[in-house]
Amino acid sequence: MNTIGKILVILNFLFAIIVGIVMVMVIGLRTQWKDAYKELETQSKVVVAQRDAATNMNRKLVNDYRSAKLERDEIAQLRADDKTVAALKEKADEEKIKQFENQAIAAQNLLQQALSTNKRMAAEITVLNQSITDRESLIVKLQADINVVRVQAQNFESLARARQLQNEGLLEKVRELTRQYALREAGVNPDALAIRDPNAPNPPAVAVNGRIEMVDAKDNTLIQISLGTDHGVHKNHTLDVYRTKPEAKYLGMIRILEAYHQRSVAQLVTSGNTAYRPPLRPDDLVASKLR
């Protein structure tokens, strides 16, 4: 082998050694590059995550800043509104205070006027009370006089009615006595004759006085009296009815329907004017002739 061959062999050997070393170095570097790549990839992911977090935080900060700014603007606006409202309210309060002061002055004036009016009215009321007292006294006196006059008028009216009824009864009695006298002159007993006129007076021959014991509740004209045949009262006899309390009144004439020894049943003769005739009641008086 010549020198060139030896040199080539040595160069090949050296090249092989260099290639081997390079390959070893490449393999080592490749491993380092892979680890570095993985580390860089991990770091990149961390950076991306941090970037996203930072982005989100920035967005949040921006939103918070905007919200804070809006809140600040709103607060500023509210403060401005509050100042405006406070100013308006203060102005309104001042106007109200002025109004209250004016009203207080007006009320004070009204109070003074009311006090003056009250004093004047108190004096007028005193005078009016005195006038009312005098008028009431006069009215009471006049009322008493009116009552007295009214009672007297009623008494006079009752007496007039009683006299009217009594006069009617007396006229009937005069007619009956005239008839009986004429019959007696002719020799006829009038007591034995039947009474043709149920309203004609027919008193008993003797004077009798009694009272009403009972009055029929259904028929006020049907009564029971305390006189009978033992007292000289017989059937078809008539008696006058009157009362003395509380005032004297002539109540009319009754006719005997049934006569017993100590009492009789009679009925009110409803002839003449009965509009003013009061109803009969127990203890009213009966007599053969009203005196």
By the 10 Å C-beta count (0-12 exposed, 13-18 middle, 19+ buried), 209 is classed as middle
- 78 pLDDT above the threshold of 50: yes
Q: In terms of domains, do 62 and 162 share one?
A: yes
Q: In terms of domains, do 135 and 219 share one?
A: no
Positive or negative torsion for Cα 83, 87, 93, 96:
negative
Give residue 234's pLDDT. 93
Q: Does residue 12 sit within a domain? A: no
Under a CB-based contact definition with an 8 Å cutoff, are residues 280 and 268 in contact?
yes
Angle at 163 between CA 160 and CA 168, to 5 degrees: 130
Q: Does residue 128 sit within a domain? A: yes
Residue pLDDT, tens place only, 248-267:
888 889 999 999 999 999 99
For tokens 């020799």, name the residue. Answer: 187
For the segment 196-206, the average pLDDT, to the nearest whole number, is 78
Give residue 33's pLDDT. 74
Q: Does residue 189 sit within a domain? A: no
Q: In terms of domains, do 201 and 163 share one?
A: no
Q: Is 62 helix (H, G, I), strand (E, B) or coil?
A: helix
What's 243's domain CATH number?
2.40.10.340
DSSP letter (8 states) at residue 200: S
- Write down which residue in 152, 170, 188 finishes a domain: 170
Stretch among 69-78, 135-144, 175-184 having the lowest mean pLDDT: 175-184
- 291 pLDDT above the threshold of 60: no
Q: In terms of domains, do 147 and 237 share one?
A: no
Give the rounded percent of residues in the chain with a pLDDT score beyond 90.
16
Residue pLDDT, tens place only, 11-54:
888 888 888 888 888 787 777 777 777 887 888 888 888 888 88
By the 10 Å C-beta count (0-12 exposed, 13-18 middle, 19+ buried), 215 is classed as middle
Q: In terms of domains, do 249 and 158 share one?
A: no
Could you please report the per-residue DSSP string of 238-282? EEEEEE-SSS-EEEEEEEEEEE-SS-EEEEEE--S--TTPPPP-T
Print burial letters for 186-201: b (CB count within 10 Å at least 16), e (below 16).
eeeeeeeeeeeeeebb
Task: For residue 247, give the nearest of 112, 151, 136, 148 by alpha carbon.
Answer: 151
Separation CA 153–CA 148 (nearest Å): 8
Give residue 39's pLDDT. 83
Q: Does residue 78 sit within a domain? A: yes
Stretch among 184-188, 235-239, 258-262 having the lowest mean pLDDT: 184-188
Q: In terms of domains, do 164 and 207 share one?
A: no
For tokens 């590059």, name the residue. Answer: 33
Q: For residue 162, how many C-alpha atoms fall within 13 Å in the half-sphere facing its CB?
A: 19
Give Cα 42 distance to the centre of its chain.
Answer: 94
Give backbone dihedrals phi and psi of 166, rounded to 5 degrees, phi first.
-65, -40
Hey, what are 55's tokens? 């982005």
Domain of residue 238 covers 197-291
What average pLDDT is seen over the chain?
A: 82
Give residue 265's pLDDT. 94
Q: What's the whole-model pTM score?
A: 0.35
Overall domain count for the chain: 2
Angle at 261 between CA 179 and CA 265, to 5 degrees: 65
Q: In terms of domains, do 161 and 243 share one?
A: no
Q: In terms of domains, do 208 and 129 share one?
A: no
Ranges of H-type helices in the chain: 3-185
